Amino acid sequence: MLNPGEDRLNYSKKLIPPESYELDFAMGTTFSLDLEALVGVPLALSLSSELDDFSDENPYYMLEALRKSADKFAIFCEGGQIQVPQNANSIFSLMENSVFEVMLPNNKSFHPKVWLIKYVNSEGESLFRLIVLSRNLTFDRSWDVAVNLEGKLTKQKWDKNKPLIDFFNYINTHSNPDKSTKIQSLLNELEYVEFQTDKNYPDFEFMPLGINGYEDKHSNLFDTYHDLLVISPFLTNSMLQKLNDKSLSNPSKTLITRRSELAGIDEELFEEFDIYVLKDLVVEGEGSLSEEQEELEQSQFQDIHAKFYARSKYTWHEFYIGSANLTNSAYYGNVEFLLKLQYRKRGFRIQELIEDIIGEDELESPFEKAVKPDQADETEMDLTEELERKIKELTRVERRASIVEHDDGYELKLTFDSLPEDVTFKIGSINSKKDVPLEHEVSMENLSLLELSQFFRVTAMVEDKEVKRIIKIPIEGLPDDRVKAIFKSIIQDKYTFLKYVAFLLDDEFLLSMIEEMERKRSGKGRWDDAYSDYPVIYENMLKTSSRTPEKLDDIQKVMEYINDNDVIPEEFETLYRTFLKSVKRVKK
């Protein structure tokens, strides 16, 4: 059921449309967001592909995925938790109108991890998919858990969906007018969707936390029980005590958490719970094999990140999956989301689930029994967390941006109504290497069209410590041709244009011809010599396009974006118009 050795899920595969369906609209939530990971969302939703399938040397896939789906998805994240990408790329700007920061008051966090997706097929039938995760939209390698429900439209309303609708209605207040209209249309249908489960899960309940009307509705998670399993990477002692106090006679109580949380657990609770952590060898991963400390620090660690609760009372079993850690903040302030599943299987015991996770062989198990440690020195972590809080505070400040065009480029003017105290900031466009000190009013000059973005890199600094994040600032007066400039920065010449066309048509023959053209361009022949092959190329394109004529519309849109005779061969324009007319005659 939850076997980390065998049952592994791929985030992007959870988003890929079912066979014969395509994306209508998707909305998702995450606490932290990696823009490079976010590129994988349109790849999965519109091209049914995974981000790892492609490299930076083939940007056509990402460009086409964003062109097709940028208007069809929205992602909501915690303000101040967008990570700075390792490599700046102007293509991120195509996702600006799909990313929305949520800023909660009183230092609370927007922490849910949920996707609601609507797919449609050629018959006009709709399929809805709800994915509830503990995983953020990043490349973090930590261990998470996910579950998805699918459902179709019915003629009756389902009251069971009301908490889910209320949750997404709350989130929709943080979108822009264009996305808000599409989200509302999706939610209007949601009350008629019947989500299905198999026979082992006879009932379920949606549990939003921290929104109006659901501030303290925890279902019966904190009711009495006989057996309990808690997986929570972060916890507070008082919440663990609250669960402990609800145990009945002869209980079994198991906790899986991170080693860093052990120092905060009271000694008496160590006696009450069987507590497990991942072994250091597993946490350090391949980094533990390195003899160089620098390599160890740079390696990607992994740890428990899943949030999962299993409780039994007599023969009644319930699972809770989602974003809520066992902390005061999660249940009394943050916006979170849990899915409660009733589980029914004759003879089932929670101990079976624990054995699946922990394993019966102590040497082979990735986990080990925890020992109460001495209080850890967290000075370095405290300073990092303080800088993160300052960036979070900055995202809650009223801010504005405007743009002025000069002969030598563009000037961005930023205004902040206030700035957090006791910290120094610098700021720069995500697509520019230049940073300037952040003050109430700041100007960035001599920016190119491609350097303009509503994503800004912010660095918070105290002493020799710094933390970087991306924040979003809407800009008044962005040039209308900025998107076209992004396309032209990737499709720069006749070779790349034709390669893009080949990709749109999924034409292997055309790709082989283009490779031959590239060899000629690189010195083994004249680039223009390849034009003699055009009739053969376009005959094949015509055959492909006649089967899927909608691809002609995609080519037309790309041509409109480029609109450059140095990039779009004149012969292509002529022959394209010719077979476009032929396809229209065939359709008649």
Query: Is residue 218 one of the residues assigned to a domain?
Result: no
| Domain assignment of residue 535, given as a range | 491-587
What pLDDT, on a 0 to 100 scale, did the predictor assign at position 415? 96
Q: Are residues 345 and 470 in the same domain?
A: no
Q: Are residues 352 and 474 in the same domain?
A: no
Distance linking the first and last C-alpha atoms of the chain: 55
Task: Chunk the chain into consecutive blocks of 10 residues (it has 588) and report each block's average pLDDT, rounded to whole numbers.
Answer: 64 89 96 93 83 56 86 96 90 94 93 98 95 94 93 96 97 95 96 94 96 84 96 97 96 96 94 95 62 41 93 95 96 96 92 89 90 67 87 95 93 95 95 94 94 96 93 92 89 83 66 55 47 54 68 82 86 76 59
Check if the beta carbon of residue 417 is closer than 8 Å to that of residue 452: no
Check if the beta carbon of residue 126 is closer than 8 Å to that of residue 288: no
What pLDDT, on a 0 to 100 scale, did the predictor assign at position 302? 87
Q: What is the total count of domains within the chain?
A: 4
Return the sign of the alpha-carbon dihedral for residues 476, 480, 481, 482: positive
Query: Is residue 3 one of the residues assigned to a domain?
Result: no
Query: Is residue 100 one of the residues assigned to a domain?
Result: yes
Query: Is residue 219 one of the residues assigned to a domain?
Result: no
Q: Are residues 309 and 166 in the same domain?
A: no
Q: Are residues 238 and 336 in the same domain?
A: yes
Q: What SS3 class is residue 231?
A: strand
Q: Are residues 321 and 406 in the same domain?
A: no
Query: Is residue 217 one of the residues assigned to a domain?
Result: no
Please report the beta strands in 344-464, taking only residues with DSSP state E, as ranges in sequence order: 367-369, 399-406, 409-416, 424-429, 436-437, 441-447, 455-462
CA distances from 339 to 11, 336, 348 (A): 18, 11, 20
**CATH code assigned at 471:** 2.60.40
Q: Are residues 56 and 182 in the same domain?
A: yes
What pLDDT, on a 0 to 100 scale, did the predictor assign at position 53? 47
What pLDDT, on a 0 to 100 scale, did the predictor assign at position 141? 86
Q: Are residues 427 and 349 in the same domain?
A: no
Per-residue DSSP letters for 59-75?
A: THHHHHHHHHHGGGEEE
Q: Are residues 348 and 265 in the same domain?
A: yes
Q: Are residues 286 and 336 in the same domain?
A: yes
Q: Are residues 421 and 335 in the same domain?
A: no
Query: Is residue 296 one of the residues assigned to a domain?
Result: yes
Q: Are residues 341 and 447 in the same domain?
A: no
Choose one of 446, 479, 512: the last residue of a domain.
479
Q: What SS3 class is residue 543?
A: helix
Q: Are residues 47 and 180 in the same domain?
A: yes
Query: What type of residue is 315?
Result: T
| pTM across the whole model | 0.90
**CATH code assigned at 160:** 3.30.870.10
